[in-house]
């Protein structure tokens, strides 16, 4: 997968390197990174039970890759490789626990730094899961949160700090937790903080507090918004996200960012969606929109988000000069810790479709093979599949 993402980036650099009198305007790039999305979750790859009209349109207008591979089968390592071009195992990076420090060295040559060198404005919106704060030592969530994306070359960041199944359950904008009140400070860890702050139910002691749905395995620490999480959080009640409006919030921030950059030079936008990672909490307006359960409806919501981004580019006259890439950090997993209607851990069998999970219908490792789409309306790429290398 990483090589195909870098193919799109190569298109940008190729255009940038043209002589000034021959070069068209430098294209913007929007990289949409799904979470646990397999190629069998998109209609353009054969899905029948989940409608994805916007992603199908993106495929019809651009390139649809049929042999895309990610660098790792889990969140943090795949994202590390995407942003650095280096395999995560070289830095001993695995799936990060709650409260982990930044694992990308601040002096690394990163994807956003490459774009900035070429004169681009850079932004990240969505799931981060690469750590925040010093790699050793404890981060004070009530003060400036650094190092993070801004120390790696991004000009703007609006983040889900870790993942939606881990604490802290707050948004971070640039260097601060959004909406945090000083009288209810935020702490992570099992140990009770030294000052009074909100205490959340412990899912192990009070499983009845998990009212959204129960944990099937491993998600039973702090219960926030009726959902058991990995890790313990204290305080920060007014800053808590709403799980069901998370995609809406990310889309709102993206629309605002795109509008702010219209007519102001090229930009690179990295949208790392939390969908369709657990807990799958699509907004109620998407309930029942697929023929599956929460997971299918969350995929419909992600497709909607892609459509909103494409429409926003249209509204600001940016479509014809913007490369859009859609892919995922890794392929699918189904029962990933919550009783949300999925019936197996993972699968490659077509027969498992139905009122359970949708699958990749392939003998290949689905956890390592997401789909990958690339569209550039300013170039004729419509409906193509790139040649498969020998």
Q: What is the residue-wise DSSP string for 147-177? A: SSGGGGT-SEEEEESS-TTBS--B-EETTEE
Q: What percent of the chain has pLDDT over 70?
A: 83
Closest Cα partner for 255 from 300, 320, 311?
311
Which carries the bigger pLDDT value, residue 215 or residue 388?
215
Please report whether residue 221 resides in a domain: no
* pLDDT given for residue 206 in this prediction: 98
Q: What is the DSSP string of 193-216?
A: PSS---BPPBTTT-GGG--S--BS
Report if residue 305 sits inside a domain: yes
Establish if 113 belongs to a structural domain: yes
What would the mean pLDDT of 304-322 be, rounded to a whole number? 97
pLDDT bin (cut points 50, 70, 90) of residue 20 is very low
β-pairing verdict for 322-328 and 28-34: parallel
Whether 114 shows a pLDDT value over 50: the answer reads yes
Concatenated DSSP letters of 336-376: SSB-SS--SS----GGG-SSS-----SSS-GGG---EEEEE
CATH number of the domain bearing residue 64:
3.40.720.10
In a domain, 297, yes or no: yes
Whether 106 is covered by a domain: the verdict is yes
Confidence of residue 13 (pLDDT cuts 50, 70, 90): low
Do the domain assignments include residue 313? yes
Residue 249 lies in a domain: no
Secondary structure of residue 62 in the 3-state scheme? coil
Mean pLDDT of 161-190: 98
Query: DSSP 3-state assignment of 254?
Result: helix
Better-scored residue on pLDDT, 43 or 364: 43
User: Which range, of 106-115, 357-366, 378-387, averages the lowest pLDDT?
Assistant: 357-366
Q: Is the pLDDT of residue 41 over 60?
A: yes
pLDDT of residue 348: 47
**Structural domains of the chain, count:** 1
- What pLDDT shows up at residue 8? 55
pLDDT at 390: 45
pLDDT score recorded for residue 121: 98
CA distance linking residue 6 with residue 153, whole number of Å:
17
Q: 277 pLDDT exceeds 70?
A: yes
Query: Tokens 């969140």 map to which residue?
Result: 75
Per-residue pLDDT at 67: 83
Q: How confident is the model at residue 347 (pLDDT cuts 50, 70, 90)?
A: low
Q: Tell me whether strands 156-160 and 121-127 are parallel, antiparallel or unpaired.
A: parallel
pLDDT in tens, 218-229: 999 999 999 999
**Three-state SS at 270:** strand
The residue segments making up the domain with residue 60 are 2-12+28-177+266-376
Give the model's confidence band at 365: pLDDT under 50 very low, under 70 low, under 90 confident, else very high. Answer: very low
Task: Find out whether the peptide bond into 248 is cis, omega within 30 degrees of 0.
Answer: no
pLDDT in tens, 248-266: 999 999 999 999 999 999 9
- Predicted confidence band of residue 24 (pLDDT cuts 50, 70, 90): low
Least reliable range by pLDDT among 47-56, 305-314, 362-371, 372-381: 362-371
> What band does 331 get if pLDDT is binned at 50, 70 and 90?
confident
- So what's the pLDDT on residue 261? 97
Average pLDDT score, the chain:
88
Q: What is the pLDDT of residue 364?
A: 34
- Residue 124 within any structural domain of the chain: yes
Mean pLDDT of 353-372: 43
What phi-psi label fits residue 133: left (phi over 0), alpha (psi between -120 and 50 degrees) or beta? Answer: left
Name the least confident of 120-124, 163-167, 338-342, 352-356.
352-356
Cα-to-chain-centroid distance, residue 66: 21
pLDDT(17) > 60: no
Residue 385 pLDDT class (50, 70, 90 cuts) = low
pLDDT of the residue at 360: 36
Q: What separation, in Å, do the N-terminal and C-terminal C-alpha atoms of the chain show?
A: 17
**Exposure string for 149-179, b = 16+ CB within 10 A, e = fewer:** bbebbbbbbbbbbbbbbbbbbbbbebbebee
Residues near 331 by Cβ (< 8 Å), separated by ≥ 6? 36, 37, 38, 39, 70, 73, 360, 365, 366, 367, 368, 369, 370
Residue 40 confidence class, pLDDT cut points 50, 70, 90: confident
Q: Is the torsion defined by CA of 54, 319, 380, 269 positive or negative?
A: negative
* pTM score: 0.90
- CA dist 240 and 221 (Å) reads 16
Spatial distance between the Cα atoms of 172 and 366, rounded to a whole number of angstroms: 32
Name which residue leads in pLDDT, 289 or 39: 289
pLDDT class of 14 with cuts at 50, 70, 90: low
Please report which confidence band the pLDDT of residue 10 belongs to, taking 50, 70 and 90 as the band edges: low
């Amino acid at each position: 997968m990483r090589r195909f993402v870098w193919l799109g980036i190569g298109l940008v650099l190729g255009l940038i390197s043209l002589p000034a009198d021959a070069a068209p305007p430098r294209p913007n790039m929007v990289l949409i990174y799904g979470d646990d999305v397999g190629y069998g979750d998109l209609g353009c790859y054969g899905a029948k039970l989940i409608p994805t009209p916007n992603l199908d349109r993106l495929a019809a207008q651009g390139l649809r890759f049929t042999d895309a591979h990610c660098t790792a089968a889990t969140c943090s390592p795949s994202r590390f490789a995407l942003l650095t071009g280096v395999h995560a195992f070289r830095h001993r990076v695995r799936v990060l626990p709650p409260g982990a420090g930044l694992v990308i060295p601040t002096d690394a040559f990163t994807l956003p730094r490459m774009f900035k060198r070429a004169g681009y404005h850079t932004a990240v919106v969505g799931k981060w899961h690469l750590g925040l704060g010093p790699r050793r030592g404890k981060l004070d969530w009530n003060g400036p949160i650094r190092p993070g994306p801004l120390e790696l070359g991004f000009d703007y960041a609006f983040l889900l700090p870790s993942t939606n199944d881990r604490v802290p359950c707050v948004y971070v904008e640039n260097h601060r937790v959004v909406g945090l009140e000083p009288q209810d400070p935020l702490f992570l860890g099992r140990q009770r903080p030294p000052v009074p702050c909100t205490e959340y139910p412990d899912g192990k002691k009070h499983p009845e507090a998990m009212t959204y749905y129960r944990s099937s395995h491993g998600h039973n620490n702090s219960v926030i918004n009726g959902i058991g999480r990995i890790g313990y959080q204290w305080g920060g009640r007014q800053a808590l996200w709403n799980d069901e409006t998370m995609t809406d919030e990310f889309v709102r921030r993206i629309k605002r960012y795109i509008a702010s950059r219209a007519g102001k030079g090229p930009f690179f936008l990295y949208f790392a969606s939390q969908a369709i990672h657990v807990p799958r909490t699509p907004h109620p307006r998407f309930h029942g929109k697929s023929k599956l359960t929460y997971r299918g409806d969350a995929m419909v919501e992600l497709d909607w988000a892609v459509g909103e981004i494409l429409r926003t580019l249209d509204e600001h006259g940016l479509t014809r000069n913007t490369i859009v890439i859609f892919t995922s950090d890794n392929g699918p997993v189904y029962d990933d810790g919550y009783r949300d209607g999925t019936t197996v851990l993972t699968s490659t069998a077509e027969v498992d479709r139905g009122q359970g999970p949708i699958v990749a219908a392939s003998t290949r490792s689905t956890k390592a093979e997401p789909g990958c789409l690339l569209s550039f309306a300013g170039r004729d790429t419509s409906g193509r599949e790139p040649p498969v290398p020998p």
